[in-house]
Amino acid sequence: MSQNENMSGNDAGTDEEFVDPIEPDQPDAQPPESKSGKSARAPKVTNPKRVPKESKAHTETRPEDPAAVGQSGERPASAVPGQQAPIKESAAYSGAGAKEKRSPHPKQARPIKSPKQSRPAETQVPAASHSPAVPATGTAGASVEAKTARDPGGYPEFHAPTRARKDGKRAQTIVFLHGGNVANWSWDPQVRAFGDYEVLTPHLPGFGARSQEDWAGLDSAADDVAAVIADEVSNGGAHLVGISLGGVIALRVLARHPELVESVLISGVPAAGVSASMRTMSRMQLRLFGSEWYWRFQAGAYGMVADEKELFTEHGTQLRADNMRAIMDEVDPGGVPSKLGAYQGPALVIAGGKEPKLVAKSFPALAKALPQAQFRIAAGMHHQWNIEDPILFNATVRAWVEKGTAHPRLQEQTTQQ
């Protein structure tokens, strides 16, 4: 949820996800002229919103990132990671989400998935397999891939490993929690890069395939994520990665279900709270949620490429303004969960060097609750930097998950008040 830094005199900003994005610098971002050794796991979390495990489907194959994930974090000049096929804008979504009155429709369940296939043994996964799988049936397979690429709610939640780990061990699990204004499709560059892991990209309530669900609160969203982890992870705890709203929810998962998490990496979390002027401006922008030009403008501020802009715009017009207001009301005041100290595992907290200063100002409060955490600045990065620089973001996640170290390009940050 994006709000431009130049729209306020303060150095602290917010997006509609409570943090300012970057200043738009793309010409097409302007309005048109015409109009998500350990102790034994706790019992699985049950959640009435989720369908039974048997009905969930793993995507057994997924495309791989053609660029190697190096520790240098340098982007190859010839590759555009995470690029997706352009979307034809749907007039059916125009104006959706503009009403701030809560919808009378009952809460929707997660989309029904086909029966889950058993995961192949590690020895059955070719170590050198790095190319995308070809659909079994030409026309049908192509149509499914096209729908997944074009539909903001059609991106899978479950991604099985496509290659063996170099150390020969069984694949671990990474859970990516997306920010507000976007959906789980925003993690596509990471899904492509982590083919040697089982990857979960849940649809958070109110976004993507669940855009018409009522927002039930941060604790409810955290319990929903915990249910996904308890349901799907069979090899130790999960590595949890959250950005912006996803980072806020990740903190709730740590506080309420610490036994499910092996490590955590969060970025863009405004724990220090949002200024009153930014809160007012964010709520004024809710009136524009049904306008395609507004979302194109925000896409430019995020630094998205052309086809990502189309997907972002179509998804944005589907968001419910009443849900966004409810999320703002919970997140804007700031603060950390009271039982966050129950989590004793590794934690890495990051702020983009070019995102609002309120994110870095949140470090002291988080350090008090998580004294074991490391704090870093991603120099030159804005709020949604997993899309802005996926090569660096992927290298940062891999260094943290596999070695427990912060990437060398990240700058160490003091947590003193």
Intervals of the chain under pLDDT 70: 1-150, 301-307, 416-417
Structure tokens at 158: 């479950």
Give residue 327's identity as a one-letter amino acid code: I
**Kindly report the CA angle at 221 between 296 and 55, in degrees rounded to 5?**
95
Report the first-to-last Cα separation within the chain, whole angstroms. Answer: 27
The pTM (predicted TM-score) of the whole model is 0.66
**Residue 403: per-residue pLDDT:** 94
**Residue 62: per-residue pLDDT:** 53
pLDDT tens for 61-111 read 454 444 444 444 444 433 333 443 333 333 333 333 333 444 444 444 554
**Residue 303: per-residue pLDDT:** 64
**Residue 124: per-residue pLDDT:** 37
**Residue 215: per-residue pLDDT:** 95
